[in-house]
Amino acid sequence: MEHIKADILQAGKELFSEKGFKDTSVSDITKAVGIGVGSLYKYYSSKEQLFAEIFFAEGDSLKRSIFDKLDLDDEPVKVSKQIVQEIFTGVRSNPILMEWYNLDTFIKINKKLDLDETGKEHHDFSYRFFIDLIEMWKDKGKIRKDFDSNLILAFFNSLQYIDLHREEIGEQYFPEFFDYMVEFIVRGLE
């Protein structure tokens, strides 16, 4: 039984990567696995739930790979720049993670799964990672303690919205734009 769930996850990952969330149907996934549609619903209540599980796994994998490259003893500006660059590079190179930038997909999944109820840290893989890092920097006196950690996270989260508007801002300014924004954020916290 567990191998069926693993097969569903693998087929879902391949099809969502290849065709995108919108153009992948439950029947496409079950056909690839060689099971009936009803069998998929024994494991997942919806296509959205399957996609969310795959998305979170991909995000966690990216987060682990970034974490493994970091020297947390480096200065916060350097570490933050590296994290932001690695996140944006990793997301842009992963079709499943890129789906989160598709507003229609995000709204549909959020509505179906009510992700707002689970909190931002559960549907934005960088949040938990940043909060732990921010708390560590506060404890070590590398950044000010008087700033609420969630406010600091909001500063970093705003970079995602800037990334959505790269074309309007001007592609020629990226990735330098992010480097400066990260530096401005972190220097303001010292």
Domains and CATH numbers, the chain: 1-44 (1.10.10.60), 47-189 (1.10.357.10)
Tens digit of each residue's pLDDT (9 = 90 or more) over 164-182? 889 999 999 998 999 999 9
DSSP one-letter string for 62-85: HHHHHHHH--TTS-HHHHHHHHHH
Tens-place pLDDT, residues 25-56? 999 999 999 999 999 999 999 999 999 899 98
**Measured between alpha carbons, how far is 82 from 58 in angstroms, rounded to an integer?**
19
Indicate the SS3 state at residue 124: coil
Q: At CA 152, angle to CA 146 and CA 157, rounded to 5?
A: 170
Residue 175 preceded by cis peptide, ω within 30: yes
* pTM confidence score: 0.83
* Locus of tokens 């330098």: 176
